[in-house]
Amino acid sequence: MPDPIHQFEIKRIVPLDLFGLDATFTNSALFMLLAVVLIAGFLIFSMQGRSLVPTRLQSLAEMLYEFVANMVRDTMGGHSHDDGHGHSHEHGYMKFFPLVFTIFIFILTLNMLGMIPGFFTSTSHLAVTAGLALLVFVTVLIVGFAKNGLGFLNLFVPSGVPIYVLPLVVAIEIISFLSRPISHSVRLFANMLAGHITLKVFAGFIIMLLGAGGAYGVLSILPLSMATALTALEFLVAFLQAYVFAMLTCMYLNDALHPGH
């Protein structure tokens, strides 16, 4: 049976050393670089015409733009009127749009590249997802304290909680805040990892049953149909996890901008 873990192997292509750190160019780096080239190439090339009536590629790029812009607006734009913020704050959250867009399109492309047989899935490695989650976490901390000062700590003190349970609630809030980068990164990592292992295992069953020959060969139709259905599901998961990651990024950034519950 083929080893389902083999596909996650890191291959060291160009050994590099950066100030004593191991900065080897690996297959993971190759696919991240490929994603950057594809995304930037597509977004810049498709908008070459800048036409008023968009071409197919241009409208795809615009759809992606509007999709993420709406996500950012819907998650972060809702507070502008109810907590007494001034008019100038209303569109302040849009300066995080490039970050959210980059995160979304980067993860989506890495996930989708991973769906091509033989390609490496960079998002199936905890280092990559954790790096992205930590980037969001640190951004939230910096923006939160820069914008609200110590008022950012209000995030841990929900209003309307009786004083005798407040210490407990604050402790829970702090723990849940600190565990955000873990759940944020593990969710994406585990989904990609599990999906790819499952696909590989079912594909392995097909080969095993075919190899057994005779009546077993006929039975291989079962794992084949399973693998086909799972492939469709994995495409959905690849999109959904990119969406969920970007959506959570928006929500965490929203906490940084509006720490009051």
Q: What residues line the site for other proteins (CB under 8 A)?
A: 3-12, 16, 18, 21-29, 32-33, 35-36, 39-40, 43-44, 47, 50-52, 54, 58, 61-62, 65-66, 97-99, 101-102, 105-106, 118, 120, 122, 124-128, 131-132, 135, 189, 193
Compute the least distance from the CB of residue 175 to other proteins, in Å. 23
CA distance 25 to 106: 18
Between 124 and 254, name the residue whose CB sits nearer to other proteins.
124
Between 112 and 126, name the residue whose CB sits nearer to other proteins.
126
Compute the least distance from the CB of residue 193 to other proteins, in Å. 6
Between 94 and 153, name the residue whose CB sits nearer to other proteins.
94
Q: Name the 3-class secondary structure at 1.
A: coil
Q: Phi/psi class of residue 14: alpha, beta or left (left: φ > 0; alpha: ψ in -120 to 50)?
A: beta
Compute the least distance from the CB of residue 53 to other proteins, in Å. 9
Closest CA to 2 of 202, 184, 186: 202
Distance of CA 28 to CAs 9, 10, 154, Å?
9, 7, 40
- H-helix or E-strand spanning residue 175: helix 166-178
Compute the least distance from the CB of residue 23 to other proteins, in Å. 5
Compute the least distance from the CB of residue 102 to other proteins, in Å. 5
Between 43 and 240, name the residue whose CB sits nearer to other proteins.
43
CA distance 224 to 232: 13
- Beta strands per DSSP E along the chain: 12-14, 17-18, 21-22, 25-26
CA distance 252 to 258: 10
Between 43 and 208, name the residue whose CB sits nearer to other proteins.
43
Compute the least distance from the CB of residue 144 to other proteins, in Å. 20
Q: Name the 3-class secondary structure at 13.
A: strand
Between 99 and 153, name the residue whose CB sits nearer to other proteins.
99
DSSP 70-110: HHHHHHHSTTTTTT---GGGTTGGGGGHHHHHHHHHHHHHH
Compute the least distance from the CB of residue 147 to other proteins, in Å. 20
Helix orientation angle between 56-76 and 221-257, rounded to the nearest 10 degrees: 50
Between 99 and 247, name the residue whose CB sits nearer to other proteins.
99
